[in-house]
């Protein structure tokens, strides 16, 4: 895993967006795994602006949602699919039927198998955030390197952090579904994004600690094309 130091937050978002648009230019039918959360939002703003200016097009791309909260009504604005639609999908020219999300109103295990089959040999690029406990997607500590798309129980810190998306502190989801580390490792490229001082410790641990399920992000370190793209604050202890 290569550490890319990308400057102040604005420069960092510019850099990530520029790198992604370069991949899109090389491969217009790019298969992308995209996350939600606060970290990628400025990157999505820049991608949407580039599409509006005619500098990029996602018309032939394909987007796979990284993960989803379980036990949440489909219309809840805190759901991952709803957040990604607002932040990215509705703002770019993604072709009809090219946004893939989870349907969790039936057999969850069967849905995870369907999604795993849909991913197939892997995405061209998996874009990931990183939690302060080292989770990527909803692969919490204890996740092994060969895990596939599956139902997971959320760590208390992840449940607490989800309050910002749902606008409440009670009745928060306690489980979800996620692409597994094994699924993500099939991607042609994996980029882990980190921004802000609050991510400085886990960035350093991800790069220096022995690879272990205790810090799931470390299990991506031996991927042949993995980048950890950090702004100045997040990379300050690396």
Rounded average pLDDT over 132-151 = 96
Residue 232: pLDDT band by 50, 70, 90 thresholds? very high
CA gap 131, 111 in Å, rounded = 25
Give the residue numbers annotated as catalytic, written as ranges: 67, 133, 135, 140
Residue 110: pLDDT band by 50, 70, 90 thresholds? very high
CATH of domain 2-230: 3.40.50.1360
The DSSP bridge pattern shows strands 150-153 and 175-178 to be antiparallel
Do 123 and 65 touch, CB atoms closer than 8 A?
A: no
* pLDDT score of 2: 96
* pLDDT score of 222: 96
Q: What is the mean pLDDT of the chain?
A: 96
Q: Please, which residues bridge with residue 139 across strands?
A: 136
* pLDDT score of 204: 98
Rounded average pLDDT over 76-81 = 95
pLDDT in tens, 34-50: 999 999 999 999 999 99
Domain boundaries, the chain: 2-230
Give how far Cα 26 sits from Cα of 20, 56, 60, 124, 210, Å. Answer: 10, 11, 12, 11, 35
Rounded average pLDDT over 113-123 = 97
180 burial (CB, 10 Å; 0-12 / 13-18 / 19+) is buried
Rounded average pLDDT over 182-197 = 98
Beta strands in the chain (DSSP E): 2-5, 31-34, 62-65, 67-69, 99-100, 125-128, 150-153, 175-178, 189-194, 226-230
Residue 228: pLDDT band by 50, 70, 90 thresholds? very high
User: Which of 88-102, 155-169, 204-218 bottoms out in mean pLDDT, i.e. has the lowest?
Assistant: 155-169
């Amino acid at each position: 895993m290569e550490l890319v130091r990308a400057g102040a937050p604005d420069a960092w978002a510019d850099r990530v967006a520029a790198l992604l648009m370069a991949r899109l230019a090389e491969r217009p039918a790019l298969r992308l795994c995209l996350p939600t959360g606060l970290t990628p939002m400025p990157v999505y703003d820049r991608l949407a602006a580039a599409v509006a200016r005619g500098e990029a097009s996602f018309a032939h791309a394909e987007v796979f949602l990284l993960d989803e909260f379980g036990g949440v009504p489909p219309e809840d604005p805190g759901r991952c699919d709803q957040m990604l639609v607002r932040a990215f999908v509705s703002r770019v020219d993604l072709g009809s039927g090219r946004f893939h999300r989870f349907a969790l109103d039936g057999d969850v295990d069967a849905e995870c198998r369907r999604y795993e089959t849909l991913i197939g040999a892997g995405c061209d690029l998996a874009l990931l955030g990183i939690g302060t406990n080292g989770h990527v997607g909803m692969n919490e500590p204890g996740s092994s390197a060969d895990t596939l798309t599956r139902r997971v129980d959320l760590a208390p810190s992840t449940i607490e952090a989800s309050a910002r998306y749902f606008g409440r502190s009670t009745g928060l989801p306690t489980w979800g579904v996620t692409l597994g580390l094994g699924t993500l490792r099939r991607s042609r490229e994996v980029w882990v994004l980190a921004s802000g001082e609050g991510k400085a410790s886990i960035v350093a641990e991800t790069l220096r600690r022995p690879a272990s399920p205790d810090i799931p992000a470390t299990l991506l370190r031996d991927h042949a094309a993995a980048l950890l793209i950090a702004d100045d604050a997040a990379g300050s202890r690396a």
